[in-house]
């Protein structure tokens, strides 16, 4: 996995921290923050498939057939059953509403939602093409993740801690005092994911698209940003 690291440090002293009680003696309050950016190597694809038929059973069978066609082709994308969730299904009646008259049943709709985890992100575009050809109705969202997520979050936490300590010591020495014991720590870590399909934009299926001979689409990968902020209050010693 290609990893690009960018550390952004923001450390400042404050008179008061929200949700943090301050000691009555001499003290210094600092915040250390850091960021790490990594290229994603995992894609979690959220799919929807639906069918409208004259009977609920016929709609369900149509949806199940499309899902089975998708599942049968997943080995080509190095995906096993442990990386697929396809258990949800729902059916409902579709009515034709007529004002002043009894509603008429037009048909029945069956829907299934699927989640497929691709651990080879290079196959993402080919997988989307395959899903649409299998008559999956919509690609609702794609989450981009890193296989090193836990390690990167630990690293960014450690960076924030180190620089909070360094800045606290530097500021204390600048005022002719020594940094004492830690009075309180407030950690606020965040994990920000950049993703395809933002705002739930769906990639709708069409016969024209599925049979097109146009060049494959190009999707520019967003970086995943791991960030951490550590607020610390130190005692000061003369």
Question: What CATH number has the domain bearing residue 60?
Answer: 3.30.70.2970
Question: What CATH number has the domain bearing residue 34?
Answer: 3.30.110.170
Same structural domain, 77 and 155: no
Series of mean pLDDT values for 10-residue runs along the chain (238 residues)? 39 40 79 90 94 94 95 93 89 82 86 94 93 94 90 91 93 92 82 48 38 54 83 91
Number of domains in the chain: 2
Same structural domain, 139 and 79: yes
pLDDT at 192: 65
pTM to 2 decimals? 0.68
Judge whether 53 lies within some domain.
yes
Same structural domain, 60 and 94: yes
Same structural domain, 20 and 59: no
pLDDT at 209: 37
pLDDT at 212: 46
Same structural domain, 46 and 113: yes
pLDDT at 159: 93
Judge whether 197 lies within some domain.
no
Judge whether 106 lies within some domain.
yes
User: Is 130 in contact with 205 (CB distance < 8 Å)?
Assistant: no
Same structural domain, 109 and 170: no
Same structural domain, 134 and 164: no
Cα 106 from chain centre: 38
Same structural domain, 162 and 179: yes
Same structural domain, 106 and 128: yes
How far apart CA 221 and CA 228 sit, in angstroms, is 23
CA distances from 11 to 70, 105, 235 (A): 50, 64, 17
How far apart CA 59 and CA 104 sit, in angstroms, is 18
Same structural domain, 28 and 73: no
- DSSP, residue by residue, 65-111: HHHHHHHHTGGGGT--GGGEEEEEEEEEEEEE--TTS--EEEEEEEE
Judge whether 99 lies within some domain.
yes
User: Which domain range does residue 231 map to?
Assistant: 12-39+148-192+226-237
- DSSP, residue by residue, 147-164: TTHHHHHHHHHHHHHHHH
How far apart CA 144 and CA 39 sit, in angstroms, is 9
């Amino acid at each position: 996995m290609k990893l690009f690291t960018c550390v952004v440090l923001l450390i400042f002293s404050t008179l008061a921290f929200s949700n943090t009680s301050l000691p009555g003696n001499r003290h210094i309050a600092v915040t250390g923050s850091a960021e790490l950016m990594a290229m994603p190597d995992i894609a979690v694809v959220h799919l929807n498939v639906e069918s409208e038929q004259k009977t609920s059973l016929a709609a369900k069978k149509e949806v199940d057939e499309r899902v089975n066609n998708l599942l049968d082709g997943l080995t080509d994308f190095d995906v096993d059953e442990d990386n697929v969730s396809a258990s949800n299904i729902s059916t409902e009646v579709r009515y034709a509403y007529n004002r002043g008259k009894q509603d008429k049943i037009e048909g029945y709709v069956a829907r299934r939602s699927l989640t497929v985890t691709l651990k080879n992100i290079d196959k993402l575009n080919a997988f989307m093409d395959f899903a649409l050809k299998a008559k999956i109705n919509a690609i609702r969202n794609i989450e981009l993740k890193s296989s090193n997520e836990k390690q990167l979050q630990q690293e960014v936490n450690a960076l924030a801690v180190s620089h909070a300590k360094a800045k606290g010591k530097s500021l204390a020495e600048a005022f002719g005092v020594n940094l004492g014991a830690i009075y309180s720590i407030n950690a606020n870590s965040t994990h920000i994911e950049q993703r395809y399909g933002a705002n739930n934009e769906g990639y709708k299926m069409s016969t024209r698209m599925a049979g097109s001979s146009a060049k494959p689409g190009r999707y520019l990968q967003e970086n995943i940003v791991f960030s951490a902020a550590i607020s610390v209050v130190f005692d000061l010693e003369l």
